[in-house]
């Protein structure tokens, strides 16, 4: 799992987090942690990989509340919200992605979660 996950992370430049199970949650936390740790290396000009949470029906409300609680308790830097985007459905996710892509090329997307019965798919997208 580690090699596949590392390859997915290195290859992708953006992530969609779809509703899913424990494996999805594990992968989300792995990606969020990697991006969070990058916030301390911003001086090097490192590119952050945007993360779009598709919060359909409030699926990720508790996770979002937990991140907010950690920020309140000062165990997480609020800068994490610079790369986390919360949307309510797939259409809004695509709009959010287009907005992000218009600001900087984001050629590869790695959706995480259940998408029409499949788990991991990569979609190539040419920058506009």
Q: In this structure, is the dihedral angle defined by the CA atoms of residues 76, 82, 87 and 91, taken in order, positive or negative? A: negative
Could you tell me if 80 and 39 are in contact, meaning their C-beta atoms sit under 8 angstroms apart? yes
Q: Give Cα separations from 56 to 43, 86, 98, 120 (angstroms).
A: 35, 10, 19, 19
Could you tell me if 80 and 49 are in contact, meaning their C-beta atoms sit under 8 angstroms apart? no
* pTM for this model (two decimals): 0.73
User: What are the tens digits of pLDDT across the range 65-122?
Assistant: 999 999 999 999 888 888 899 999 999 999 998 888 787 654 545 555 654 444 343 4
Strands 123-124, 108-112: parallel, antiparallel or unpaired by DSSP?
antiparallel
Could you tell me if 51 and 34 are in contact, meaning their C-beta atoms sit under 8 angstroms apart? no
């Amino acid at each position: 799992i580690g090699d596949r996950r590392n390859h997915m992370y290195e290859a992708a430049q953006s992530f969609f987090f779809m509703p899913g199970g424990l494996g999805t949650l594990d992968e989300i936390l792995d990606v969020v942690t990697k991006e969070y740790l990058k916030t301390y290396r911003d001086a090097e000009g490192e590119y952050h990989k945007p993360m779009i949470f598709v919060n359909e029906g409030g699926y990720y409300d508790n996770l979002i509340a937990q991140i907010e609680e950690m920020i309140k308790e000062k165990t997480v830097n609020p800068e994490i919200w610079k790369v986390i985007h919360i949307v309510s459905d797939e259409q809004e996710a695509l709009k959010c992605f287009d907005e992000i892509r218009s600001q900087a090329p984001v050629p590869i997307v790695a959706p995480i979660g259940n998408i029409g019965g499949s788990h991991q798919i990569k979609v190539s997208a040419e920058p506009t």
